[in-house]
Structure 1
Amino acid sequence: MSRLTGAGEQRGAEVIDEHSDTVPLPAVPPPADRPPTGRAERTGGGGVPPAFGPIVKKVALGVAVSLVAGAGYAGLRQIADAPTDPGAPTTAASPQTSATPDEAAEGVRRASAGGAVLQKMAAAIEGDSRSAFLATVDPKAPEFRESARTIFANLDKLPVTGVRLRYVSDDTGALTPERRTALGGTESWLAQVEVSWQLSGYDTKPARETLPVTFVTRDGTTYAASFSERFVAGQRRPIWTLGPLDVAKGDHSLVISLDPDADAESYVSATDRAVDSVSKVWGRNWRRKVVVYLPAKQAQMEYVLGAQPNTYTQIAAVTMAELDTPQAGAPVRIVANPKLFDELGKQGRKIVLTHETTHVASTATASPVPLWLAEGFADYVAFNAVPVQDESAAKELFKAIRAGKVPSALPGPEAFAASSAELPQAYESAWLACRLIAEREGRSTLVKFYRAVHASKSSTGLADAFKSVLGMTEQEFVAEWQQYLKRLAGV
């Protein structure tokens, strides 16, 4: 396939309002007790992007996302100060400590008023009452009212359960004087709200996002007036807030599409086949349930991922853990890049879907396996499902080897960065490293090797697996792999 792959670049902090205007925010360093890299917090270049500054001076919210992009990881992280207990009541959370007792009391009052609105919203969703849901929406916010109708219809189409809306924190200074004047009423403010939900039959843990919700009080009643007032960079948006959805369900897949022209049913069939292909290699001991998001345009993909514009223009698909702390059991989604996915053609889409489904099966978004193994294994499974000629699949690597540039080591995390000049070679060499293991020891041993590294709690897990599973050191394997590459390249 064409290597429309890569990893997300580090992003500076900025706030994006609902009119797409941006306001820079100062970056803040990560806490001293956080390691520079983590199990599921890697950038394509092996580092951690700077933590994002608070959206307002009294709010510092965030969600950590781990991505496996097309055929590469991309870690997108923020520092979360607010609690994230999905079982907390919808009205829970006191405001941040204010400067005076009076201000603190006002914050409690706002939290109570806003929390009551959120509780009514959640109850309306649970009770499938469109009228009750719309009753919580500001009658003088026609655009948001139309959006709310779409949101309710979307949730009605999805197998959603356990929707919770939890008031986290706020700051009355977040809205400009002009915006407050436009809203009218006796009071208006912006709050951060944690939204959690599960897709029944697909998720074992709730998905979570943090939404900026604007509240306005008029005639003694508080309403929600916007779900998109201002977003901090890296703050994701639930797909069901972005436009009308088309939903298709297969034996093993759920396809959620924002594109009215996409054939969601055809993606269901392709994803179901990808599940079968992955199971033939990985085994059937996984949930065998895959959720695919099909945005209609690039911006929607970026909203779902919490990415800056044009970050993923050359990436065909991304595997994302839709949880603030990616971990085993986290809800995982495959997010397609609409333009590139269409251009791939039937066979190309099959390869990409099989690759991404491998990441879902192997819980790659919460795994300590090195990138070369995660990506090489996913390509091995994909190319096993859709055979390709070596000369085509490893074109750039073979060209480099014939020019005398034989890789000196297995590709490190920096090789998978979007800006890496040797990005194609990284994927190609990782794939052939995994294929060599399968040819040398058998496919089951390759899977055993991957599982051993994945399950290890030791910093020497990779070295241990080389010895215990393959009976050699990494250096010995690299020497054999180099000879294998040269032979394949005809050198």
Structure 2
Amino acid sequence: MIAGAILAAIAIAVVLWQQPWSTKAEPERPTISADAGVAIAAQIRALGNARNESEFVDAAGDSDAARDWAKETYANVGLIDATDIRLRFVKGGNNAARADGATEATVEVSWRPGPRSGLAEQQTKQAEATFVLDPLTGDTFAVRDAVQGTGALPLWLAGKLETTRTGGTTVVTVDGGDKAKPIVDQTESAHAAVNKVVTGAKTRLVVISPRTQAQAAALLAQSTASIKQIAAVTTTLDASNSARAALVVVLNPAVFAAMDARAAQVVMSHEATHLMTDAATADIEPWVAEGFADFVALRDDKAPLSVSAGQILRSVRKDGAPDRLPTADDFGTSQHGLGGTYESAWMIFRMLGDRFGDEDILRFYNAVLDGRPTAQATESTFGLSVAEITRDWRAYLVKSASITS
């Protein structure tokens, strides 16, 4: 009896709590009118015209999320000394594009990093970002976020930025960056490694350390799927191929954080070589760019060949040596065995390094960077044709595979 009474009481309490007879509905979301784009265009214009933080925060809209976003974004602008900022509404804003009722607007963004940023350059960057806005009342909106649209997401819209500058290096973290690795120390070591081999290298090295792979992809104007094998990329800040644009190393924390200390340092020094020699915007064969970058990164490496070239040597033992030098297609980010391709390019330079000095290797690399055809550069520097280098490299791979377990 007592148990039955207790169960009955619980059932009554549940019914009272659920109130199945109630017709109370969820709070209605503000209606987005068909001409909301006019209001959003004016709001975006006000953001672009803001002369101080107060005006920028006011223009972002009347919500806690908008104020938080605006304060963080405005701080980022000052941190990287962003100048010449232009925002122009392109389209959108006239429907609830997201499940929570938020709308989206495409905004053309142009800007230029200033001289205090560590990212100084000669050109303005331009891309389209997607602004996420919460509808309020009376056709007013609050900007909640800005995410990747078409092109590289501007750095100052990517998340909370912090910078560390030491000598010739600048590390920019996004939302705290990759906390699993000593990024600042690795950047300094990479800077020193390049200067040890490359005379006349650029003195500035800038590394961006995002917190997530999605942030890395947005900064690279890529999808997350397209960078899933890549630990780091040297690129221009706007993901263009312009030789006038600032070069940066963007880390992919999903891959970079999982590496051991040695491998992570090799990757950082490899990318630093690309950046400090302007290889990322040069029109040179990939085996030259990638092979030389690893030649620098592995210059003082103490790991056995079974570690530094394990993938390509296993492939050679199984299938024999490749019949040609690696091509641009072989370095595609979706290619299976990508690590082995990089190792094979390094083995070209390792072979040449065994026969020639660092000065000759650097002279060949600089000649190619300066626009001399690779075949001419190999002949004038080493007295070897590309065909002869290919022949010797294949034999070198076979021999190395036979003596490496």
Same fold (TM over 0.5): yes
CA contact 1:463–1:473 (8 Å) conserved in 2: yes
Q: CA deviation at 1:329?
A: 3.6
Partner of 1:452: 367
TM-score, normalising length: structure 1: 0.66
Deviations 1:256-291 (A, max 9, x none): 1135485699422221221111011111x2332111
CA contact 2:159–2:175 (8 Å) conserved in 1: no
CA distance in 2, matches of 1:469, 1:447: 10
CA shift in 2, pair 1:441/1:207, >3 Å: farther
Q: CA deviation at 1:373?
A: 1.1
Structure 1 residues not aligned, in runs of 5+:
1-102, 125-129
Partner of 1:394: 309
Deviations 1:321-360 (A, max 9, x none): 1136322242122111223322223322211110110010
Larger helix percent: 2
Q: CA deviation at 1:215?
A: 8.6
CA contact 2:81–2:113 (8 Å) conserved in 1: yes
1:16-31 map, 5 Å: none
Q: Cα RMSD (Å) of the superposition?
A: 3.4
Q: CA deviation at 1:418?
A: 3.2
CA contact 1:118–1:165 (8 Å) conserved in 2: no
CA shift in 2, pair 1:160/1:301, >3 Å: same
Q: Does 1:175 align with 2:100?
A: no
CA contact 1:137–1:145 (8 Å) conserved in 2: yes
Q: Please, which of 283, 289, 297 is the counterpart of residue 204 of structure 2?
A: 289
1:76-475 map, 5 Å: 113=42, 116-121=45-50, 123-124=51-52, 130-139=53-62, 141-156=63-78, 158-167=79-88, 170-171=90-91, 174-178=92-96, 190-199=105-114, 200=116, 201-206=118-123, 208=125, 209-213=127-131, 225=143, 228=146, 231-232=148-149, 234-260=150-176, 262=178, 266-283=182-199, 285-323=200-238, 325-456=240-371, 461-475=373-387
CA contact 2:69–2:143 (8 Å) conserved in 1: no
Deviations 1:357-377 (A, max 9, x none): 001012122111111111111
- Percentage identity across paired residues of the two chains: 25
Partner of 1:31: none
Structure 2 residue matching 1:291: 3-state secondary structure: strand
Q: CA deviation at 1:421?
A: 3.2
CA distance in 2, matches of 1:480, 1:468: 17
Which piece of structure 1 moves more, 409-418 or 373-382? 409-418
Structure number with larger C-alpha Rg: 2
TM-score, normalising length: structure 2: 0.78
CA contact 1:117–1:223 (8 Å) conserved in 2: no
CA shift in 2, pair 1:419/1:304, >3 Å: closer
Structure 2 residues not aligned, in runs of 5+:
1-34
CA shift in 2, pair 1:341/1:301, >3 Å: same
Q: Please, which of 374, 377, 394 is the counterpart of residue 482 of structure 1?
A: 394
CA shift in 2, pair 1:397/1:419, >3 Å: same
Deviations 1:422-442 (A, max 9, x none): 423311110010122222221
Deviations 1:46-100 (A, max 9, x none): xxxxxxxxxxxxxxxxxxxxxxxxxxxxxxxxxxxxxxxxxxxxxxxxxxxxxxx
The amino acid across from 2:76 in the alignment is N
Structure 2 residue matching 1:246: 3-state secondary structure: strand
The amino acid across from 1:177 in the alignment is N
Partner of 1:25: none
Deviations 1:112-138 (A, max 9, x none): 9467414423x32xxxxx212212222
CA shift in 2, pair 1:393/1:262, >3 Å: closer
CA contact 2:176–2:210 (8 Å) conserved in 1: no
Partner of 2:22: none
CA distance in 2, matches of 1:363, 1:313: 25
Structure 2 residue matching 1:256: 3-state secondary structure: strand
Count how many residue pairs are aligned between Structure 1 and Structure 2.
365
CA contact 2:39–2:139 (8 Å) conserved in 1: no
CA distance in 1, matches of 2:347, 2:96: 59
CA distance in 1, matches of 2:143, 2:101: 8
CA distance in 1, matches of 2:304, 2:121: 39
Higher relative contact order (CA 8 A, sep 6+): 1
Which piece of structure 1 moves more, 408-417 or 420-429? 420-429
